[in-house]
Amino acid sequence: MNIGIIGGGAIGLLCASYLTQYHDVTVFTRRNEQAEEIRAFGIERTVKGETCQASVHAQTGITGEFDLLIVTVKYHHLQDVLSELSTLSPHRILFLQNGMAHLLDLENWKTGHSLYIGVVEHGAMKMSDHEVNHTGIGIIKWGAFQHEAAADIKKALNETSFHFQMVYMDEWKKLLQEKLLVNVCINPLTTLLHVRNGALIQNPSYEYMMKCAFEEAVSILSLPEKERLWAYVNTVCENTAENQSSMLQDIVKGRQTERKAILGYLLKKAQAQGVAVPHLTFFDRSLEVLEKKQTKSFE
């Protein structure tokens, strides 16, 4: 397939570096310097101490015809990307944002494109404009947002590397809720504590705080199967133990975080339900302060 990947962050580089093994891939970046660097050096991906180079096309400005476009930008850049995508002929577009705030934007988007939604369970760190570390091998689960999934995409995305599986699922809403739960348990705490994901299950005090966030989120989202979900959150911490969560990476690099897409979404829901969520509220306010302070270090 001819695949366009929108966004040159950690997840964009990771997806491009694996998908290019089976497909013709173009990465769309915001900055021209990044596109130039990717064209010159390819994408260097390091996984389990081994580095390999993947060659892909790279450009700014989303133009061309693709069998599939994959949007990997953070939620706060989504509106700009949707405006650009509105100018294209109908495409099949897969969205890989954290949180659930983007669902509302997609529901309200009047478009002829066919939309798909996915969740990323990989840990990845962008080391430079063309280098990415695959710090946690997970999986990408995806489903059809409004349309039936095209059989050719399902088949083509099944052909992926062992370290980068893309699995089709019918229940995308459940997937997103469960991923939101993972993100609200892992991202704010790792950022506030300045620790890698694994610390949350290695230190009992951190684990206790994570459980408090878990209980509040599960109740807001009315999720059944609490035991399975707690085990799932723990498994993601284990699989991505060496990873700095994306929120921690954002704070360290002085970038805007996904606080609103993750905590903001849940706090709004809690407010609508008239439920008090003291831990999530505390995380949200503390992160807001941290965002303004911009601590640029990670020991």
Distance between CA atoms of 283 and 285, rounded to whole angstroms? 6
Q: How far is the CB of 250 from ligand PAF (least distance, A)?
A: 9
Between CA 7 and CA 14 the distance in angstroms is 11
34, 97, 160, 187: which one binds ligand PAF (CB under 6 A): 187
Q: How far is the CB of 239 from ligand PAF (least distance, A)?
A: 8
- In the stretch 91-130, what mask flags binding to ligand PAF with x, by CB under 6 A? -------x----------------------x-x-------
What is the spatial distance between Cα 295 and Cα 252, in angstroms, rounded to a whole number? 6
Catalytic residue among 74, 141, 179, 260: 179
| Rounded distance between C-alpha atoms, residue 42 and residue 24, angstroms | 13
Nearer Cβ to ligand PAF (23/179) = 179
Go through 168-201 and write b for each residue having 16 or more CB atoms within 10 A of its CB, e for each that does not: beeebeebbbbbbbbbbbbbbbbbbebbbbbbbb
Position with the least CB separation from ligand PAF: 246
**Per CB under 6 A, does 186 bind ligand PAF?**
yes
Q: Supply the minimum distance, in Å, between the C-beta of residue 237 and ligand PAF.
A: 8
Q: How many CB atoms lie within 10 A of CB 148?
A: 7
Least distance from ligand PAF to the Cβ atom of residue 47, Å: 15
Quickly list H helices, the chain: 10-19, 32-41, 78-85, 101-107, 151-158, 172-193, 199-202, 204-220, 226-239, 246-252, 259, 265-273, 278-293
By the rule CB under 6 A, 72 interacts with ligand PAF: no
Whether 179 is catalytic: yes
Site size toward ligand PAF (CB under 6 A) is 14
Secondary structure (3-state) at 52: strand
Binding track, positions 123-162, relative to ligand PAF; x by CB under 6 A:
x------------x--------------------------
Active site residues: 179
